[in-house]
Amino acid sequence: MPEPPETIRRAIASFNRYRSPEAVAEFIHFSNNELIVRFSGSFCHTCGVYDYFEDLIFELNPEAPIGLAVIDFEKEDDMSFLVRYQLTYLRPRCAGG
């Protein structure tokens, strides 16, 4: 199974450090610039569950040349969701603006 980019691995670890055990992110698959992550836990499934999916995006180092966007998600069972992200490589900003 391909490994995720290092910045994604660190983002998942940081997400889990601050949100576990209420919400836990688990790397599932990475290929063709698509990332699949399983979110599980006792988080509220009816009010703002999507916020947890976006929180992983915010865990990326702001200096990292990588962006994520949620493409799709599906409920697996009562305690987990599979979330599919699109990975994009951002162009560095120029020093002059």
- Predicted TM-score (pTM) of the model is 0.83
The CA R_g of the chain, rounded to the nearest whole Å, is: 14
Site of tokens 């599919």: 84
Domain count, the chain: 1
pLDDT per residue over 15-70, tens digit each? 999 999 999 999 999 988 899 999 999 887 666 788 999 999 888 766 667 788 99
In a domain, 97, yes or no: no
What are residue 6's DSSP bridge partners?
Answer: none
Q: CATH number, domain at 73?
A: 3.30.1360
- For residue 62, the enclosing domain spans 6-89
Phi, psi of 46 (to 5 degrees): -105, -20
